[in-house]
Structure 1
Amino acid sequence: MTILKSELPSLTGFAVFAAFTVAGDALKPEKLGVGLSLVMLAVIFLTVMWCAFSVVRHAECLATILGEPFGTLILTLAVIGIEVALIVAIMLSGDAAPTMARDTMLSVVMIVLAGLIGLCLLIGGLRHKEQSYNLQGAQAFLSVLVPLSVFALVLPRFTHSAPGGELSLLQVGFEVVMSVLLYGVFLAIQTVTHSDIFRQPDAADDEEHHHGVVVRSLPFHVIGLLGALVPIILLSKKLALYVDFGISGVGAPLALSGFIVAALVLMPEGLSAIQAARENKLQRAVNICLGSAVATIGLTVPAVLMVSLFTGHSIELGLEEPEIVMLVLTLFVSLLTFGSRTTNYLMGAVHLALFAAYVLMIFDLS
């Protein structure tokens, strides 16, 4: 009974998907109208979020079993899997905007670097005054994130081999190969040769961070994590249909759909990072936040480009000029923030100011 209760999110996810499948065309957003479609969107959104929290719980248990940085890496890869599934589902929904993937990836980077980092540093700084972390680990993340972000989201706007922010076939090949290679080298550093630089300085060897959750066997949590991921993937196309219809119905800016997907994906992971900062485990918060940003560019970009290539769906990655300014400014401030071995709440306030400017820009540029 205890196990059944703990896996209730996954079971609910499968049940909701079955209900929508049985209902078929009766629950199509075009037939329900804007009002009921928003209700259905809320149902799917909450179900997916509940399953996402289950993914995080199993990842936390695996982190306890395997230790750092493997635990955080599992959590990051699981969340990126959700992100890719949602983006691809929206891309294949039929009438998705070519900028959907770009908007989602930019939202992930901005939510992580400006919003989550800001909250972690502000909350942790107010609670502990100054917090320490492994400087080499943070710089390793940023050394990969900065060039990959520029290659994927900035460079396509200034090249002329393809119109607008689209990529030519040569650029697609470069992006896929470069992203996979750089992320592969980074994984080798993180998990094999330099894993010590991604651990909290002066942390006890037996320190645990599963916050009271029941840790069972390795196979149980692997199966549980996959069992929570499957309903998210199954519901992703349904979510895409209602997000697209709802955004159009209320006249919201198209970029808001990418922000919604990014917020949904990052919600459970973000709460885990904030909890770590509250407990003065800033290195774990840094691993989660910066790891998400690096994995988003390093893994999501190749995934969506390959889907675009094989399905013929048009995709634009090059940002508009105001967005480029916000991205470059955020990357620059992040380099300043993680340029010393301690942080305080002033840095958190600066990052949150950047996040507020980004949210304003979403509506101002529509």
Structure 2
Amino acid sequence: MTAALRRVLTPLTTARAAVGWLTVLVLWAVSDLLTPPVPAVPLLVAIAVIVGVIIFASTGVVHQAEQLARRLGDPYGSLVLTLSIVMIEVVLICAVMLGPGEHPTIARDSVMAVSMIILNLVVGLCLLVGGLAHGHLQPNRTGVSTYLSLLVVLCMLAFGLPAALGTDGAFRPWQVIAVVAVTLGCYAVFLWRQTGAQAEDFTEVGGAAPVSSPVPGTSGSVRTGDDDAASRPPLGEVLRAHRPELPARLVVLVVSVLPVVLLSHDMAALLDDALGRAGAPPAVAGVLIAGIVFLPESITSLRAARAGRIQRASNLCHGALVSTVGLTIPAVLVIGLLTGQTVVLAESPANLLLLGVTLALSTVALAAPRVTAVHGAAHLVLFTAYGIVVFS
């Protein structure tokens, strides 16, 4: 084994992946015993074990993502983690649609839950934690504006337009073709520009965070630039210089992410059972699962914000949501068109109101020259409002 592979495949890294996959296999083997209704004690034990394994495995995902980001720099490092999680999530949603039964609202409920969790809960915590640690933060406003511009348009296409023009909350076939083409085209242009001519728009602003309150455990000022992004060698040179290490880390990242997502969806039936007994609304399970699926990105974002790297947090949060909407909606619409299933995307007036206010708040807050903890608190209030809607 080469030195590069030894750096990647540490005992802890191997243990995290092994525990995740072993748990997936055990759950598959005892699936008959966990078919609802499950007795209360085994049900709670199974949920607790799954959540514990997900958290343990997620720390490995975060480690690999941070190592890749350190080598590749942003936006490439953030994009690797984002696409790894989002693509697996898209595949699983599509697998549910192609399986037995009807699931007309699975895409709408999943993407809306992810939107509220990322835009309000995770971004709110990032701004709160980063603001308390550094006083204020300075994102790259051009990059953040690009994300939010896309989210306004893509969310309108996904959730608003079906309510206004569709039939019973679903697009007509000819509308599906147009929406899929426009959504994929918009997302392709975004990726092309983000990884090409506009890559610098998604890097840290040098000296963005104040240095009066360094992160605990550090001394002196906190450097918030993208590790001297201006002097970073071109991506091609980085790939050639670290040829054995980078592919290995990418493989380990995917291998570590996959059990996290699989376990979160294995837990869906158990959560439905537990929450049903507790009298909680069905949408609560979707919110919890969405939060667990994106747990690795959430942890990475919070760590970046605490270190004053707010643009990296934005790349992870806003970039993840752009990818989620830009890939999930076209995929489920195409499957619905080919299989004849109804795909209901139109959202309720309450959720549309919350989504619109959330995007407006994001635009106002992150367009400010300096973003503070108060902006984060406002986002957390909106997430609380979303919780009220879910339980109403």
- Note whether the superposition's TM-score is higher than 0.5: yes
Query: Cα–Cα, structure 1 residues 249 and 313, in superposed 2: closer, same or farther, change >3 Å?
Result: farther
Which residue of 319, 322, 333 maps to 2:361?
333
**Residue type of the partner of 2:108?**
R
Deviation at 1:95, TM superposition (A): 5.1
- The equivalent of 2:235 in structure 1 is none
Q: Is 1:324 matched up with 2:371?
A: no
The alignment-based identity, stated in percent, is 35
Task: Work out the CA distance in 2 between the residues paired with 1:350 and 1:51.
Answer: 31
Superposed counterparts of 1:308-323, under 5 Å: 308-323=336-351
CA distance in 1, matches of 2:341, 2:272: 16
Matched, 1:227 2:255: yes
- C-alpha displacement at 1:190, in angstroms? 0.8
Aligned residue among 327, 332, 344 for 2:372: 344
Give the SS at the match of 2:281. coil
Could you tell me whether the CA contact under 8 Å between 1:119 and 1:352 is conserved in 2?
A: yes
Contact 1:86 1:236 in 2 (8 A): no
Which AA in structure 2 matches 1:111? I
Q: Does 1:243 align with 2:271?
A: yes
Structure 1, residues 78-101: CA drift from partner, whole Å, max 9, x if none? 121243244345545645653232
Q: 1:204 to 1:102 in 2, by over 3 A?
A: closer
Aligned partner (choices 32, 35, 49) of residue 43 of structure 1: 49
Taking the aligned partners of 2:366 and 2:60, their CA distance within structure 1 comes to: 31
Unaligned ranges ≥5, structure 1: 208-214
Q: What does 1:1-366 align with in structure 2 at a 5 Å threshold?
A: 3-30=10-37, 32-88=38-94, 90-91=96-97, 94=100, 97-160=103-166, 162-163=167-168, 165-202=169-206, 203=225, 205-206=227-228, 217-232=245-260, 234-235=262-263, 238-364=266-392
Structure 2 unaligned spans of 5+: 1-5, 207-224, 230-241
Q: Which residue is 2:219 aligned to?
A: none
Aligned to 1:212: none
Q: What secondary structure sits across from 2:205 in the alignment?
A: coil
Tell me, in whole angstroms, the C-alpha distance in 2 between the residues paired with 1:307 and 1:204: 40
Q: Secondary structure at the match of 1:132?
A: coil
Q: CA RMSD in A?
A: 2.5
Residues 31-59 of structure 1 show CA distances to partners (whole Å, capped at 9, x for unaligned) of x3455334323333433443343233222
CA distance in 1, matches of 2:260, 2:226: 36
- Cα offsets for 1:194-231 (capped at 9, x unmatched): 10111111226447xxxxxxx98112212211222343
- Give the letter for the 1:22 counterpart: A
Instruction: State the TM-score, normalizing by the size of structure 1.
Output: 0.88
Counterpart Cα distance in 2 of 1:170 and 1:50: 46
SS in 1 for 2:345: coil
Q: Deviations over 1:291-336 (max 9, x none)?
A: 1121111112122333434455443111001111111111111111
Distance 1:304 1:50 in 2: 31
Q: Work out the CA distance in 1 between the residues paired with 2:75 and 2:67.
A: 13
Change beyond 3 A, Cα 1:46–1:312: farther
SS of residue matched to 2:32: helix
Residue 237 of structure 1: how far off its partner (Å):
5.1
Specify the SS of the correspondent of 2:347: coil
Query: Which stretch of structure 1 is more off in the superposition, 66-75 or 220-229?
Result: 220-229
Within 1, Cα distance between the matches of 2:337 and 2:10? 42
Equivalent position of 2:236 in the other structure: none
Is residue 107–residue 262 contact of structure 1 (8 Å, CA) maintained in 2?
yes
Q: How many residues are paired up?
A: 354
What CA distance in whole angstroms lies between the structure 1 residues aligned with 2:319 and 2:108?
Answer: 19
Judge conservation of contact 2:102–2:341 (CA < 8 Å) in 1: no
Shift of 1:170: 2.1
